[in-house]
Chains A and B, each alone.
Chain A
Amino acid sequence: MNEMADKYASQDVGSIFLYTHEAHPGEIMPPLRSMEQKFDHALKLRDDYGVTRPILLDALDGACHRRYGSMPNMTWIFNRSGIPVYKSDWSDAASAESAIQYYLDVAQRRRNKERLSPFRVERLDYRNQDQDQFYAGLERNGPRAVTEFRDAF
Chain B
Amino acid sequence: MTDQDLIERYNYDKFVPDKFMPWMRFGESPNLGEKAPDFPLWHAETQKETSLSEIWSSHLYTVVEFGSFT
Closest A residue to B52 by beta carbon equals A64
Docked CA distance A68–B45 (Å): 24
Q: How far is the CB of A3 from chain B (nearest CB, A)?
A: 12
A32: B residues at CB distance < 8 A: 11
Q: A91 contacts which of B59, B60, B65, B70 (Cβ < 8 Å)? A: B65
A43: B residues at CB distance < 8 A: 44-45
Query: Interface SS of chain A: helix, strand, loop or mixed?
Result: mixed
Which B residues lie at the A interface, using CB under 8 A?
3, 6-8, 10-17, 20, 23-45, 47, 50, 52-53, 55-70
Q: How far is the CB of B57 from chain A (nearest CB, A)?
A: 6
A64: B residues at CB distance < 8 A: 39, 41, 52
CB distance A67 to B30 under 8 Å? yes
Given A23-B15, A57-B41, are A14 and B69 also a contact pair (CB < 8 Å)?
Answer: no
A4: B residues at CB distance < 8 A: 63
A80: B residues at CB distance < 8 A: 56-61
B68: A residues at CB distance < 8 A: 19-23, 41, 45, 72
B58: A residues at CB distance < 8 A: 14, 80
Given A33-B11, A43-B44, A85-B33, are A25 and B70 also a contact pair (CB < 8 Å)?
Answer: yes
